[in-house]
């Protein structure tokens, strides 16, 4: 009863803390619950479905309310949307739940496709549609095909599980041991501000607890995936003790890249000043280290991008293979209103095609990009269609006769209707004033580099003609 009393009190506090209902889903339930359900009604439901509901869930229904306020879009009333995880409407609540934390994505795909032995061993499933969702009671929606269910039997009986009933994403079993623990954690994260911060991570997909608890789970855990999840969950927090941020700083030097990247992301958020030397070390590392540093800055210290503009420009040419690293670097540099095009030029001729294409496209976002016509000319003549398309997209707002010859070569080289290149070419030529690619080819063949002047002359003539006609008609 003590936990139920806490939940009632915290629910009232949450309603006041989130008076504008800014927490995801709160504008629907408004922190109100329905009247409790009777024990007799629960017993009848259990008998009809041939199941036994977890004690904590029954306590919620009989003492707090029969649905209403709860994580995401709230908690369903007892018996609501029982067929949400099916297509035939046949209940599988009494079937064995075969989920485990160790299940891999490949195992999940096999399970829902009917090719896994896991379902056969657990209950002789013959219908793959249900083999992954047996023994799970739908209790709420997260929107689209995502929701949360309550595991009714097996190793994780009483746990809440996040599901995608399209079966695309593998279910995620929450760490809270009971329904009430899960529900109370939701309230705690509202009251602590975690779910009220800007762009919070969805509730229930990470481990709960403060910095001390999460680092304890990381340091003492035996399961590698669970340890990583504890460390990842640190970045959801708003504050941490000096001892905890010192520990994160140590972990930023880990030989394990996953550990050091997660530690860095949390440290940048929780103590930016303490993270500076770690950010510098990562920016002097390989592609993945550089990417995680830039990503952490974008997520948690975007307003401090100017502190890093010189080093980011310096390290652009050090990127070797990861186009995402380049993308994150350019996001930070673009926000500083810099002309970083010169730093991109070495990557525009990089041997890696994806990186070359990304560099050419990013060149289009550089201030004073018209200075780099020669690089765009080279890109338009690149053997890769991806690079050519990137160049065409990057040329927006540039009008230069030096581009006409390589544009003509592109028009002759690629067959009409050939995917993105042809579309991007047509869009850019239309911006220059050509009626179509065919029109451009004809004008270039007759006027060469003077094709732009010819288009401008005809546009001027038409404009004058319209003006004269307007005066006559008026």
Q: How far is CA 289 from the centre of its chain?
A: 19
What are 330's two structure tokens?
Answer: 């350019």
Count Cβ atoms within 10 A of the Cβ of residue 105 and give its class: 0-12 exposed, 13-18 middle, 19 or more buried.
exposed
- pTM value is 0.85
The whole-angstrom separation of Cα 13 and Cα 8 is: 9
Give yes or no for a contact between 140 and 74, defined as CB atoms under 8 angstroms apart: yes
Give yes or no for a contact between 145 and 165, defined as CB atoms under 8 angstroms apart: yes
- All residues at 6 or more sequence positions from 261 whose CB lies less than 8 Å from its CB, including other chains: 288, 289, 292
Question: Within 13 Å and on the Cβ side, how many CA atoms surround 254?
Answer: 16
Which tens digit of pLDDT belongs to each residue from 313-360?
999 999 999 999 999 999 999 998 888 999 999 999 999 999 999 999
The whole-angstrom separation of Cα 34 and Cα 136 is: 23
Q: Indicate whether 132 pLDDT > 70.
A: yes
Averaged pLDDT of the chain: 90
Count Cβ atoms within 10 A of the Cβ of residue 412 and give its class: 0-12 exposed, 13-18 middle, 19 or more buried.
exposed
How long is the chain?
Answer: 474
pLDDT at 452: 80
Which tens digit of pLDDT belongs to each residue from 237-294?
999 999 999 999 999 999 999 999 999 999 999 999 999 999 999 999 999 999 999 9
Phi, psi for residue 75 in degrees, rounded to 5: -100, 135
SS3 category, 136: strand
DSSP assignment letter at 195: G
Which tens digit of pLDDT belongs to each residue from 180-195?
999 999 999 999 999 9
Which of 166, 177, 148 has its CA nearest to residue 81? 148
SS3 category, 142: strand
The whole-angstrom separation of Cα 237 and Cα 244 is: 12
Which tens digit of pLDDT belongs to each residue from 350-403?
999 999 999 999 999 888 899 999 999 999 999 999 999 999 999 999 999 999
């Amino acid at each position: 009863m003590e936990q139920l009393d806490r939940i009632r009190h915290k629910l009232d506090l949450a309603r006041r803390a989130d008076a504008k209902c800014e927490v995801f889903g709160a504008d629907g339930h408004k922190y109100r619950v329905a009247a409790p359900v009777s024990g007799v009604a629960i017993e009848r439901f259990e008998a009809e479905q041939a199941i036994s509901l977890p004690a904590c869930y029954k306590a919620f229904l009989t003492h707090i309310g029969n649905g209403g306020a709860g994580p995401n879009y709230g908690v369903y009333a007892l018996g609501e949307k029982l067929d949400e995880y099916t297509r035939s409407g046949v209940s599988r609540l009494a079937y064995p739940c075969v989920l485990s934390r160790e299940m891999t994505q490949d195992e999940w795909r096999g399970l829902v496709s009917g090719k896994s032995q896991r379902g056969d061993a657990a209950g002789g499933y013959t219908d793959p549609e249900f083999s992954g969702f047996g023994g799970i009671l739908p209790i709420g929606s997260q929107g689209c095909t995502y929701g949360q269910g309550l595991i009714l039997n097996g190793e994780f009986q009483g746990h809440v599980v996040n599901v995608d009933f399209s079966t695309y994403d593998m279910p995620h079993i929450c760490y809270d041991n009971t329904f009430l623990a899960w529900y109370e954690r939701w309230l705690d994260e509202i009251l602590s501000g975690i779910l009220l911060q800007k762009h919070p991570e969805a509730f229930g997909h990470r481990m709960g607890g403060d910095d001390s608890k999460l680092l304890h789970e990381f340091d003492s855990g035996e399961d590698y995936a669970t340890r990583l999840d504890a460390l990842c969950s640190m970045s959801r927090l708003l504050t941490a003790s000096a001892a905890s941020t010192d520990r994160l700083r140590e972990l930023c030097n880990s030989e394990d890249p996953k550990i050091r990247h997660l530690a860095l992301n949390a440290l940048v958020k929780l103590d930016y000043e303490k993270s500076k030397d770690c950010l510098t070390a990562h920016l002097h590392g390989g592609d993945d280290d550089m990417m995680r540093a830039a990503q952490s800055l974008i997520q948690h210290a975007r307003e401090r991008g100017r502190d890093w503009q010189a080093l980011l420009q310096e390290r652009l040419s050090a990127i070797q293979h990861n186009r995402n690293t380049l993308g994150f670097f350019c996001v930070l540099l673009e926000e500083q209103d810099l002309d970083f095009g010169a730093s991109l030029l070495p990557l525009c001729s990089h041997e890696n095609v994806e990186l070359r294409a990304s560099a050419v496209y990013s060149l289009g976002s550089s201030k004073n990009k018209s200075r780099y016509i020669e690089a765009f000319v080279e890109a338009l003549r690149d053997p890769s269609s991806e690079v050519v398309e990137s160049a065409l997209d990057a040329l927006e707002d540039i009008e230069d006769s030096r581009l006409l010859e390589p544009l003509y070569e592109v028009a002759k080289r690629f067959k009409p209707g050939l995917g993105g290149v042809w579309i991007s070419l047509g869009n850019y030529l239309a911006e220059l004033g050509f009626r179509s690619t065919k029109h451009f080819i004809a004008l270039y063949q007759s006027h060469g580099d003077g094709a732009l002047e010819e288009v401008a002359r005809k546009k001027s003539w038409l404009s004058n003609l319209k003006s004269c006609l307007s005066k006559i008609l008026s």
